[in-house]
A and B are shown apart, each in its own frame.
Chain A
């Protein structure tokens, strides 16, 4: 969807301001939010792209106004409510009022080290790769209402395939509840001028990782 999250190329946000000696968390609650999100992901409550989509569907003024971990908390609340894992009256009460829904598993303290390992997104190939390194492609001009990982600034643009990363779970499908629908994944490189026009920095090249359905032969 064309939400506030899709920020590539927007102007007006100002300078990048780095904080010296930044702590991992600025407030205790930030760590709790991250930990709850990781634990619920491990439990199989939802996929990572469901978390992303829940953030993307926040109204743009909210998305832009709240902090990073506030966004995580809002997204988690949305996903809990949408799946009936927690109900609105429980949220209001601040306590459980009815029995839990079963989840595939539960993260315990002694499993945390293994439980935080990054999962693999490789999936069984459904067919041969359509493109190879060096192929000229054009990104599709799509504007789905659902989740997609094709940013606006690179839609309808010509580029060149540089790397083939194998077959991966397809976020657009996963986040709409249609399963993994595995797709080939490619690094596609663009000349800055095809994206930002003649005034663009001529030394700049930009790449995205593009799932095969985002691409057409040029």
Chain B
């Protein structure tokens, strides 16, 4: 539904221009009133288009795979552990890392809105904010995983974390076999955004890269 609106808008150009005109008018008013600075708006857009994205989280995961002390610190207090890395500034106070194991798979959702760990994953994809995901993740997570082409063993516990407060969750996916001795940079290439939300798994070496 909501995730198809973009296509819908392409088919009905007038709706798109209505929204565009309305948003432009809003920016004009807020600028004339002195509430916002258009140059600051440009800088915000540029930040989310170019500087914040899932590579941040992938490097965190890769370090946790290679460094047992960091992994432990991450699971104990992710905000504190990530802040020590330096490549992500201002992580905030409320990041929690949850670890996938052969016994347990974690998946993150926000059924009420779109809460998502922007600092480590960037802006959420449309599907994460869409009604199909928000409605089904808490009731039929295996069905949702099937939509992503992921099948887990029948006896794996699935834990769904509904982000109902300002706490933000990062899934620490399982390290793929055959990556012993890899550098963090190389490991990070295997860590997909979806594997850190829990709708995917980390890539296997040589597959999909």
Chain A: residues with CB nearer than 8 A to chain B?
5-11, 13-19, 22-29, 31-36, 38-40, 43, 45, 52, 55, 64-68, 70, 73, 76-77, 80, 85-86, 90-91, 94-96, 100, 103, 106-109, 111-122, 149-151, 153-154, 163, 165, 168-169, 171, 185, 187, 189, 195-196, 200-201, 203-211
Q: What range describes how many residues of B lie at the interface?
A: 35 or more
Residues facing A in B1-39 (CB within 8 A) are 1-6, 9, 16, 19-20, 22-30, 32-37, 39
Selected from A65, A103, A116, A119, the residue in CB contact (under 8 A) with B47 is A116
Q: How far is the CB of B116 from chain A (nearest CB, A)?
A: 12
| Cβ contact within 8 Å between B132 and A86 | no
Residues facing A in B43-95 (CB within 8 A) are 43-45, 47-49, 89-94
| Cβ contact within 8 Å between B36 and A76 | no
| Cβ contact within 8 Å between A40 and B44 | no
Query: 1/0 per residue B160-185: CB within 8 Å of A?
Result: 11111111000000000000000000
Q: Which residues of A sit under 8 angstroms from B47, Cβ to Cβ?
A: 112-113, 116
Q: Which residues of A sit under 8 angstroms from B141, Cβ to Cβ?
A: 201, 204
| Cβ contact within 8 Å between B135 and A13 | yes
Q: Which residues of A sit under 8 angstroms from B92, Cβ to Cβ?
A: 117-120
Q: Which residues of B sit under 8 angstroms from A19, Cβ to Cβ?
A: 3, 125-127
The 5 A-B pairs with the shortest beta carbon distances in the complex, nearest first, are A118-B92, A117-B90, A8-B111, A67-B5, A94-B25
Tell whether A13 pairs with B19 under 8 Å between CB atoms, given A52-B113, A100-B33, A151-B112. Answer: no
| Cβ contact within 8 Å between A90 and B23 | no
- Bound state CA distance, A40 and B141, in angstroms? 36
| Cβ contact within 8 Å between B162 and A207 | yes
| Cβ contact within 8 Å between B29 and A35 | no
- Bound state CA distance, A52 and B158, in angstroms? 28
- Bound state CA distance, A66 and B20, in angstroms? 14
| Cβ contact within 8 Å between A18 and B125 | yes
- Bound state CA distance, A203 and B39, in angstroms? 50
Q: How far is the CB of A174 from chain B (nearest CB, A)?
A: 11
Q: Which residues of A sit under 8 angstroms from B35, Cβ to Cβ?
A: 39-40, 43, 45, 85, 100, 103, 106
| Cβ contact within 8 Å between B45 and A73 | no
| Cβ contact within 8 Å between A13 and B1 | yes
| Cβ contact within 8 Å between A94 and B28 | yes
Q: Which residues of A sit under 8 angstroms from B89, Cβ to Cβ?
A: 113, 117
| Cβ contact within 8 Å between A39 and B5 | no
Query: Which residue of A is nearest B27, CB measured?
Result: A32
| Cβ contact within 8 Å between B165 and A151 | no
Q: How far is the CB of B121 from chain A (nearest CB, A)?
A: 12
- Among the interface residues A16, A32, A201, which one has the most CB atoms of the partner chain B within 10 A? A16
| Cβ contact within 8 Å between A9 and B19 | no
Selected from B1, B147, B162, the residue in CB contact (under 8 A) with A151 is B162
Selected from B45, B155, B167, the residue in CB contact (under 8 A) with A25 is B45
Q: Which residues of B sit under 8 angstroms from A187, Cβ to Cβ?
A: 161, 167
Query: Which residue of A is nearest B93, CB measured?
Result: A120
Q: How far is the CB of A202 from chain B (nearest CB, A)?
A: 10
| Cβ contact within 8 Å between A36 and B93 | no
| Cβ contact within 8 Å between A109 and B39 | yes
- Bound state CA distance, A67 and B165, in angstroms? 23
28 pairs from A and B in contact (CB 8 Å cutoff) = A11-B135, A13-B135, A15-B132, A16-B147, A18-B147, A19-B127, A25-B45, A29-B20, A36-B27, A39-B37, A52-B113, A68-B126, A70-B5, A86-B30, A91-B26, A106-B37, A119-B92, A122-B93, A150-B164, A185-B167, A201-B142, A201-B158, A203-B154, A205-B158, A205-B160, A208-B162, A209-B167, A210-B165
